[in-house]
Amino acid sequence: MSEQDVQILEREVCYQGFYRLEKLSLRHRLFSGAMGPAISRELFVRHNAVCVLPYDPQTDTLVLLEQFRIGALDNRAHPWLLEIVAGLIDEGEQPEQTAAREAQEEVGLEFTQLIPIMQYYPSPGGSDERVHLYLGLCSTAGVDGRVMGVAAESEDIRARVVSFAQAMHMLETGKIDNAASIITLQWLAMNKAKFT
């Protein structure tokens, strides 16, 4: 099936702020071949994003970023998560440019090489966001403990340099519990021999 198998009956903007929420009334073709009944769905409209796992193959270390996340406020003992470099792709920007900009803003890093991992939809049942994942080769020297971020965006981000083994332990024990970090760490575990 393709987009010709979807009929948008109505599209309404319910909220417009940093993000946008739309309400759609639509019909789509069923696997039987018939057109289905009209359904109503909300769509969380976001810019596409880039996430990069900073990795130093010389020392087998990587950089994790610790920061407050509103989405974890009601579901965790504390809402400070361990994540990787990430940001929304600005209008007219390529994903690789976003990766370089965010690495500078969040932790003051420069990547010597960006290796594409994959792209995916983190929550396609209600959001149109698509995430571009990369491994960013870099030096982690002098990065541990840095606190950075864009003040105008109320960012307060602390860098933590950890060994690959420590990161895998954090993953196994649930201390790293967000999709982009999990996917990139598992990808690195499967492909690390290529870089060391």
Per-residue pLDDT of 126-180, as tens digits, reads: 999 999 999 999 999 999 999 998 988 888 999 999 999 999 999 999 999 999 9
Q: Note down the domain range covering 102.
A: 49-194
- C-alpha span between 107 and 90 (Å, rounded): 19
- C-alpha span between 166 and 185 (Å, rounded): 11
User: What's the distance, CA 152 to chain centroid?
Assistant: 21
CATH for 190 = 3.90.79.10
Per-residue pLDDT of 5-15, as tens digits, reads: 999 999 999 99
Catalytic residues: 153
Q: Are residues 145 and 190 in the same domain?
A: yes
Q: Are residues 20 and 55 in the same domain?
A: no
Q: Are residues 29 and 56 in the same domain?
A: no
Q: Is 60 helix (H, G, I), strand (E, B) or coil?
A: coil
Q: Is 190 helix (H, G, I), strand (E, B) or coil?
A: helix
What domain count does the chain have?
2
Exposure letters 101-120 (e unless 16+ CB within 10 A, then b): bbbebbbebebeebbebeee
